[in-house]
Amino acid sequence: MAKRIASIATFTPTAQADAVLTTGTYLLMTGGAATDYMSISDIIQSGQANASAFNAMCLTHSSTVSSSPTQLSLPDSDGFARTGSTAYGTPPLSAKSAATTQPNRSPATGIARLQLGFNAFGGTLRTAFAPGSEWMSLGNTTASQSENIFSCQNSAGTTSGPQSISVTYEML
């Protein structure tokens, strides 16, 4: 399948304890159907803070699936990297809010969590997964395996600053 890029132009990922996340402080990505595999291959974060601010970012799976997530809208986007790509029957969804239930970042130690902290005061962090080592998720309905959440966790010295994010992925 063709690669897609989901981007949020600017957001402030407020540091939060593991639990239900506050709307507008995360990027949620999930497949369009229960049998969709999402493969994340590249993440780029760019800081926009005007003073030193450590964003203790992490990528993990949601332990509570969100209800009625709201698709990204301009200036944010989620589309094919190459024009002319064939549209999916059920497109994937990228969101930073949900109408009813927000996603829940799991406190379970058995759920993978990739630490991606960086200084949002002009810092840039690129995370590129080697072929065969991509971050994977399945479907859009199962807790702890279908929703990918990129958010800021509570940790010592966390004073979050605004940032942008772009995630390159494909549906398999």
For residues 144-157, average pLDDT: 81
- β-strand partners of 126: 44
Q: What is the pLDDT of residue 87?
A: 86
Say what the pLDDT of residue 157 is. Answer: 65
Instruction: Pick 103 or 76 by higher pLDDT.
Output: 76
Residue 98's pLDDT is 87
Structure-token match 């030193």, residue found: 52
**For the chain, the helix, strand and coil percentages under 3-state DSSP, each to the nearest 5:** 0, 45, 55
93 vs 72: CA distance, rounded Å: 8
- The answer to whether the predicted template modeling score (pTM) of the entire model surpasses 0.85 is yes
Rounded distance between C-alpha atoms, residue 142 and residue 7, angstroms: 24
Is 62 exposed, middle or buried (CB count within 10 Å of its CB: 0-12, 13-18, 19+)?
A: buried
What is the token pair recorded at 53? 């601010």
pLDDT over threshold 90, residue 162:
yes
Residues 16 and 24: beta-carbon distance below 8 Å:
no
More confident residue, 47 or 104: 47
Fill in the DSSP letter of residue 101: P
Bridge partners, residue 154, by sequence: none
pLDDT of 1 > 80? The answer is no
Could you tell me the CA-to-CA distances from 143 to 1, 46, 53, 111 in Å, in that order? 25, 29, 32, 11
User: Could you tell me if residue 109 is left (phi over 0), alpha (psi between -120 and 50 degrees) or otherwise beta?
Assistant: alpha
Q: Quick one: average pLDDT of 139-158?
A: 80
pLDDT, mean of residues 129-145: 85
Its domain, for residue 15, covers 3-171
The total number of structural domains in the chain stands at: 1
The pLDDT of residue 111 is: 83
Give yes or no for residue 43 having a pLDDT over 90.
yes
pLDDT at 140 over 90: no
pLDDT at 109: 81
Mean pLDDT of the chain: 89
pLDDT tens across 112-122, in order?
Answer: 889 999 999 99
Q: Which helix (H) or strand (E) holds 138?
A: strand 135-138
Place of tokens 């949002």: 120
Q: Is the pLDDT assigned to residue 172 strictly greater than 70?
A: yes
Percent of the chain residues past pLDDT 70, beyond the cut: 98
Burial (CB count within 10 angstroms: exposed 0-12, middle 13-18, buried 19+), residue 110: exposed
